[in-house]
Amino acid sequence: MSRLHLCILQPAGDLHALGFLDQARYFRYQFRRLGAELSLGKNRLRHDAINIVFGAHLGFDAELLKRYRCAFVNLEQLGEGGAQLAPAYLELLRTNCVLEYDGDNRTAYGQPDAPLLPLLHAPYLADIEPMPLEQRPFDLLFFGILNERRARMLARIEAQGVQVAQFDSPLYGPERDDYIRLSKAVFNAHYYASSRFEQTRVAHCLSLGTPVIAERGPATRPHASFEDAVHWVDEASLADFFAHRFGKDEFYAQSRKQLQHFVAADPLDDYRLALQHLEQALPARAAEVWRPVWLNLGSGKDYKPGFLNVDILESAQPDLLLDLARPLDLPLRAHSALAGELSLEAGQLEIVYANNVLEHVGDLPQLMGNLLNLLQLGGEAEIEVPYEKAPAAWQDPTHVRAMNEHSWRYYCDWFWYLGWFEHRFELIEFTWLDEQVQPCEQDFASFMRVVLRKIETTPHERNKVRLLRADFGGLPEDWPVRGAPGVPGSS
């Protein structure tokens, strides 16, 4: 059985990435029909599956391809008149396995045989008892990014007495679908001059049981399943359609025929061929042990691809469940579905990143000692925490401490209290941050950012440890010494 993982890339705070949920759900449905085992995740790749990646144009670290099997779904309009995307994205498509929704895009990245996967009728979206079209409260719904051209077309529609509903802010997923089901129709207009047919939006609306009125330009070449499933208009016929046809009995009768026609559209054979292509192009690899050099303390919304993401909560979906506030036996060998086989040893890490984590940790000295042990000499810990005098401090009920500019002295200056001897941290960067996490003066600070570097202690510092510790800092036993006079076994 094939194991596929659908990965939606969502940069921090990027609400628009939720727009990929529609396509990911459709892929999941079709591949499940073919017997594949499917999982869905945000920013997380799986080591034990073929990863189908949505949103790689938002940023994808190509180094991950050394460890993960990935195919990239292109849903952007490419080529002349299309989206202006980074050359790195086109190179990613040119050199890797691609799943495409529109054949006209393929010349832009030089893969004329990339599998085409149309997005058509989605039965799981059907409403058991849909509201009759005539009784729906919204005349016409438009959603999507509004540019000057689209705004001009909507103004022409409203000039014909049609009320056009729009969202006050972007809305995606089931929350948006509720409004689509309450609309007599959805209007679809081209954003780019390339005028490729926006089949993902149109298919989703039709599957929800809502008619679509779609613009069709000279270069628009829709999938055959849409020819008799959509009300087609162009700029010349736009005003006449909404003045004389929209909202009439004939419009509703034709719309019901179009919706019924679309139900019969089934691209399963296309997905079967694509699955065969994925299995041939991305065969299973021999198991390799990963030795990460970047560690992220935390997961959940703070998951960082390319890092080993550790957390104490399974619900945060980390690469590895690990509590670094407890004693840690090294070397550590572990396995997870996300990371595969991995190994952690003393002195292995280059970077540790901890964003608003330390205020939650019960035994902070133990955690800092583990980090010191895991970092290589010169390795750095990048840390952000709330400032104790800011409103952000203590708001979270899981906070166990507040921190200030003196919170780092134990790990840099008073390290002997922690039992450290050969290594300590030095503070190499300190920045006050405001509520927007931007540098500011202390009086306006909500957070602190510090960078600590692992360094060797000096001979004078080690002597000070021997002076202040109860056990002189761990002297050797000096016994037995092979060959010394009086030592048993010496001749």
- Taking only the tens place, the pLDDT of each residue in 416-434 is 889 899 999 999 999 999 9
pLDDT score of 293: 98
* 62-96 b/e (C-beta count within 10 Å ≥ 16 → b): eeeeebbbbbbbbbbbbbeebeebeeebbebbeeb
Condensed to tens digits (0 to 9), the pLDDT of residues 339-375 reads 999 999 999 999 999 999 999 999 999 999 999 999 9
Of 286, 267, 169, nearest to 224 by C-alpha is 267
Which 3 state secondary structure label does DSSP give 419? coil
Sheet containing 3-8: which strands, arranged edge to edge? 37-42, 3-8, 50-54, 69-74, 97-100
Considering the segment(s) 294-468 as one domain, its CATH architecture is 3-Layer(aba) Sandwich (3.40)
- Residue 229 to residue 182: CA distance in whole angstroms: 19
Whether 393 shows a pLDDT value over 80: the answer reads no
- CB 474 within 8 Å of CB 467: no
Averaged pLDDT for residues 278-288: 91
Condensed to tens digits (0 to 9), the pLDDT of residues 35-78 reads 999 999 999 999 999 999 999 999 999 999 999 999 999 999 99
- CB 101 within 8 Å of CB 118: yes
Whether 290 shows a pLDDT value over 70: the answer reads yes
Q: CB-based burial of residue 174 (10 Å sphere; 0-12 exposed, 13-18 middle, 19+ buried)?
A: exposed
DSSP H or E stretch at residue 42: strand 37-42
Averaged pLDDT for residues 288-296: 96
Of 73, 83, 77, 84, nearest to 104 by C-alpha is 77
Whether 182 shows a pLDDT value over 60: the answer reads yes
Whether 379 shows a pLDDT value over 60: the answer reads yes
pLDDT score of 394: 73
Averaged pLDDT for residues 439-458: 96
Condensed to tens digits (0 to 9), the pLDDT of residues 106-154 reads 999 999 999 999 999 999 999 889 999 999 999 999 999 889 999 999 9
Averaged pLDDT for residues 84-113: 95
CA 376 vs CA 384, 410, 469: distances in Å = 21, 20, 25
Most confident among 314-323, 385-394, 479-488 (mean pLDDT): 314-323
- Residue 281 to residue 276: CA distance in whole angstroms: 9
Whether 287 shows a pLDDT value over 90: the answer reads no
- CB 220 within 8 Å of CB 190: yes
Tell me the residue length of the chain: 491
Whether 212 shows a pLDDT value over 70: the answer reads yes
Q: CB-based burial of residue 452 (10 Å sphere; 0-12 exposed, 13-18 middle, 19+ buried)?
A: buried
- Residue 297 to residue 303: CA distance in whole angstroms: 9
What percent of the chain clears pLDDT 70, i.e. is strictly above it? 99
Domain ranges of the chain: 3-118+268-281, 123-263, 294-468
3-118+268-281 CATH fold: Rossmann fold (3.40.50)
Q: Kindly report the CATH class assigned to 123-263.
A: alpha beta
**DSSP states of 235-264 as a string?**
TTTHHHHHHHTTTSHHHHHHHHHHHHHHHT
pLDDT score of 196: 85
Beta strands 447-456 and 69-74 are: unpaired
pLDDT score of 185: 98
Averaged pLDDT for residues 206-218: 95
- Residue 201 to residue 56: CA distance in whole angstroms: 19
User: Which tokens in the block code for residue 17?
Assistant: 């990435």
Q: Give 490's pLDDT tier (boundaries 50, 70, 90).
A: low
User: Which tokens in the block code for residue 149?
Assistant: 């051209």
- Residue 163 to residue 247: CA distance in whole angstroms: 11
Tell me which of 31-35, 122-126, 329-333, 480-484 is least confident: 480-484
What percent of the chain clears pLDDT 90, i.e. is strictly above it? 82
pLDDT score of 487: 67
Encode 272-335 in three state secondary structure: HHHHHHHHHHCCCCCCCCECCCEEEECCHHHCCCCCEEEECCHHHCCCEECCCCCCCCCCEEEE
Q: CB-based burial of residue 472 (10 Å sphere; 0-12 exposed, 13-18 middle, 19+ buried)?
A: exposed
Q: DSSP character for 444? A: G
Of 34, 26, 36, nearest to 73 by C-alpha is 26
Residue with tokens 């799943």, as numbered in its chain: 99
* 24-54 b/e (C-beta count within 10 Å ≥ 16 → b): bbbbbebbeeeebebbbbebbbbbbbbbbbb
Q: How confident is the prediction for the chain on average, in pLDDT?
A: 93
Residue type, 456: E
Which 3 state secondary structure label does DSSP give 271? helix
* 198-235 b/e (C-beta count within 10 Å ≥ 16 → b): bbbbbbbbbbbbbbbbbbbeeebebbebbeebbbebee
**DSSP states of 104-153 as a string?**
GGGGGTT-TTPPB------GGG--SSPPPGGG-SBSEE--S---HHHHHH
Whether 192 shows a pLDDT value over 90: the answer reads no
Averaged pLDDT for residues 452-474: 90
Angle at 105 between CA 103 and CA 106, to 5 degrees: 75
pLDDT score of 491: 56
CA 484 vs CA 38, 370, 475, 479: distances in Å = 68, 39, 19, 10
123-263 against 294-468: fold identical: yes
Of 412, 278, 235, 274, nearest to 3 by C-alpha is 278
